Structure 1
Amino acid sequence: MSVSQTMETEEDLLTCLHIKLYHPQQNCQGLYRLLPLKNRSRHSADDPLRLGRDEQACTFVLDDMKVSRKQLALHAYRKPQSPDMMFTIQNLSQKGRLSVNSSALGYLERMDLPDKALIRFGQYEMLIIRESGEAKASFEVEFEVLSVPPSRETCMWVPSKTPVMDTGSPAMSTFQAELRANGPLETDETLMCHSG
């Protein structure tokens, strides 16, 4: 028997978390300079993945003094009899609120992460998309910076008790001047927005 047949191998297709970030001042500050942008990095499924500003305590670091030392954690898990690797998200910040698709999480609270989730903390918006894989022991993470807020692109953010404007999207209410400058906006009635 050859060495390659006896060695344990990890499945080729790893679950991947695509993490897309946006911050209003991202172009003039080096907020993401410590992140491995556009490079997939591999992580052990039994270690929580932490994001924050503390380089010693966190797996991924945001270079921003307004971010908590430990902001959030992603934990991988499996359900019995299921091949899919799933994730929970946990708020590690004692001072800041964290929301997942408009559901607020307090300090140390956690919830299951859906396949597509809009995470907000401070002025950050983070769109996390889970791509399924077969591997059991590890997963990958890939960071990307977005030029526009993901809430604007995905229609996932709907402020509570805010009336919907004639444009059909409550997220557009903050962009009234832009709408006036560009003329009327046509909408597609088949577009579905999720309110959480």
Structure 2
Amino acid sequence: MNVSQTMETEEDLLTCLHIKFYHPQQSCRGLYGALPLGKRSRHSADDPLRLGRDAQACTYTLLDPRVSRKQLGLYAYRTPQSPDMLFTIQNLSQKGKLSVNSSSLGHLEKVDLPDKALVRFGEYEVEIIRESGEAKGSFEVEFEVLAVPPSRETCMCAPSMTPVMDTGSCVTNGCTAELTALGPLETDETLMYNS
């Protein structure tokens, strides 16, 4: 077999992680200035993809002094039962918690990343969507900034909330303003029910 038949070509559709950020103060701060927004970047599957504040230790950096030096790591892997490239996510922060959907991870704890996940750390909400592709020696990453928190998209799934058709917002006992003032639900979910 000659070399041209074994090399990856530009026509290969690699697995892509779509990583979409939201921070409540993103419009007035240059948090994402070091990220290659809106374009796909190829990343080797052999190396973990690290995200944090330290440009020397991380693959991609957030320009925010409140983010840990090394915040999180994404690790690619494959299983014998599946041709797909899958990922785990690990909390690399010694000081802060990281949550993936409803699971909270302490320092160095990791969990399999589902095809669509809501990751939270500090005031950040990050939606990570895995787009299947060829499981080769690399994958692609595409960064985007969201105008609204991705948790709003999933608020329709919470059993205690009912949709309001004219606005599309979620209301619980008529206290929408009180809910938004609370911040992320993970801070203290019992407040929502005691209002």
Q: Normalised by the shorter chain, which TM-score bucket?
A: 0.7 to 0.9
Structure-2 residue corresponding to 1:89: 89
Q: Distance in 2 between matches of 1:25 and 1:135?
A: 37
Question: Is it true that 1:59 corresponds to 2:55 in the alignment?
Answer: no
Runs (4 or more) in structure 1 with deviation over 3 Å come to 1-5, 165-175
Q: Distance in 2 between matches of 1:54 and 1:171?
A: 38
**Structure 1: gaps (5+ residues):** 180-196
Identity over aligned pairs, percent: 73
SS of equivalent to 2:12: coil
Change in Cα spacing, 1:57 to 1:178, as seen in structure 2 (3 Å) is same
Bigger strand fraction: 2
Residue 153 of structure 1: CA displacement?
1.4
Q: Distance in 2 between matches of 1:167 and 1:176?
A: 11
Matches within 5 A, 1:165-180: 165=161, 167=163, 172=171, 176-177=176-177
Change in Cα spacing, 1:2 to 1:84, as seen in structure 2 (3 Å) is closer
Question: Is it true that 1:152 corresponds to 2:152 in the alignment?
Answer: yes
TM-score (normalised: structure 2):
0.80
SS of equivalent to 2:176: helix
Structure-2 residue corresponding to 1:112: 112
Q: Distance in 2 between matches of 1:156 and 1:45?
A: 35
AA in 1 matched with 2:113: L
8-17 vs 92-101, which moves further: 8-17
Q: Distance in 1 between matches of 2:45 and 2:106?
A: 24
Structure-2 residue corresponding to 1:164: 160
Q: CA RMSD in A?
A: 2.8
Does the aligned pair in 2 maintain the 1:51–1:61 contact within 8 Å? yes
Does the aligned pair in 1 maintain the 2:163–2:170 contact within 8 Å? no
Structure-2 residue corresponding to 1:135: 135
Does the aligned pair in 2 maintain the 1:164–1:170 contact within 8 Å? no
76-85 vs 116-125, which moves further: 76-85
CA displacement, residues 141-183 of structure 1 (integer Å, 9 cap, x when unaligned): 000000000000133886xxxx93555899655972499xxxx
Structure-2 residue corresponding to 1:9: 8
